[in-house]
């Protein structure tokens, strides 16, 4: 019986180990951050901030107290006459209808309506009516009659003689309202004013021309 021999082919033989630890390889791909959600987030914040600013501006515009709107709806000349005895004197009567409009969203309590008349920057006389109450965004009409009986014109008498020769006398009228605006628990003082230039025809006893300006101090009356 021939004995078996291990043939050596020149390659060393190494027996495999009975157990070998397993190795796990994990491949991680590079993470790319998504920039679009950040852009959308910033855009949304900008839009919300802009909307808040617009709403705040609108609220301030609507709720901020403003002076009442004063307009002359009607002005009539009742009569005018010039008395020339020792000194030139005027008999004059005007009837006016003043519209007072509350532009605010709060009620308005006005103390009185004062209507004055002047000649060439000097006050001749005035009339004062009672006050009243105006609701928010409401209007009211006030009638006033201004009369001057035998008022002696000491100043500017030379100008008055010249206007009488022309047949037209220019007068200045100012209507002014003062009051308080009730904003929540506060009372805010406000005022409204309208100034008119009225040209009176002495011959036909009518107003030939009038020009009114709201809230403009065109005339500064000088005290006697």
- Provide the number of structural domains found in the chain: 2
- Percentage, residues of the chain above pLDDT 90: 30
Q: How far is CA 115 from CA 32, 56, 62, 75, 128, in A?
A: 78, 39, 30, 12, 6
Task: Specify whether 50 is located in the same domain as 94.
Answer: no
Residues in the chain: 224
User: 98: number of CA atoms within 13 Å, CB side?
Assistant: 32
Q: What is the pLDDT of residue 131?
A: 84
Q: What is the pLDDT of residue 139?
A: 92
Q: Is the pLDDT of residue 197 over 90?
A: yes
CA dist., res. 156 & res. 212, Å (int):
23
Rounded to the nearest 10°, the torsion over CA 182, 183, 188, 192 is -70
Q: What is the pLDDT of residue 40?
A: 76
Instruction: Find, among 181, 192, 190, the residue nearest to 115 by Cα.
Output: 192
Place of tokens 């308080």: 180
Whether the CB-CB separation of 121 and 222 falls below 8 Å is answered with: yes
User: Where does a domain end: 64, 85, 115?
Assistant: 64
Average of per-residue pLDDT across 150-175: 89
CA dist., res. 115 & res. 193, Å (int):
10
Domain range enclosing 77: 69-214
Task: Specify whether 50 is located in the same domain as 96.
Answer: no
Task: Specify whether 47 is located in the same domain as 119.
Answer: no
Q: How far is CA 194 from CA 52, 94, 165, in A?
A: 37, 16, 30
Task: Specify whether 79 is located in the same domain as 161.
Answer: yes
User: Where does a domain end: 64, 82, 116?
Assistant: 64
Place of tokens 């509350």: 102
Task: Specify whether 41 is located in the same domain as 146.
Answer: no
CATH code of the domain in which 97 resides:
2.60.40.10
Average of per-residue pLDDT across 193-218: 84
* Residues 12-62: tens digit of each pLDDT: 555 555 555 556 656 555 655 555 667 777 888 888 888 888 887 766 666
Question: Quick check: is 5 in a domain?
Answer: no
Question: Quick check: is 15 in a domain?
Answer: no
Task: Specify whether 75 is located in the same domain as 50.
Answer: no
């Amino acid at each position: 019986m021939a004995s078996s021999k291990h043939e050596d082919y020149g390659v060393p033989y190494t027996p495999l180990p009975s157990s070998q630890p397993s190795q796990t390889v994990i491949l991680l791909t590079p993470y790319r951050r998504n920039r679009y959600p950040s852009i959308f987030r910033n855009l949304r914040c900008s839009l919300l901030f802009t909307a808040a600013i617009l709403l705040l501006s609108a609220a301030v515009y609507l709720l901020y107290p403003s002076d009442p709107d004063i307009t002359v709806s009607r002005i009539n000349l009742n009569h005018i006459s010039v008395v020339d005895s020792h000194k030139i004197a005027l008999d004059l009567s005007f009837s006016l209808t003043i519209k007072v409009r509350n532009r605010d969203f709060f009620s308005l309590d006005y103390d009185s309506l004062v209507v004055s008349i002047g000649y060439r920057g000097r006050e001749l006389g005035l009339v004062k009516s009672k006050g009243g109450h105006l609701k928010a965004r409401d209007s009211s009409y006030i009638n006033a009659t201004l009369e001057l009986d035998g008022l002696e014109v000491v100043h500017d008498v030379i100008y008055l003689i010249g206007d009488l020769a022309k047949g037209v006398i220019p007068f200045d009228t100012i209507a002014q309202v003062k009051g308080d605006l009730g904003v929540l628990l506060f009372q805010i003082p406000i005022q409204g004013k309208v100034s008119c230039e009225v040209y009176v025809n002495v011959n036909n006893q009518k107003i030939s021309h009038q020009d009114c300006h709201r809230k403009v101090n065109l005339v500064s009356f000088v005290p006697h």
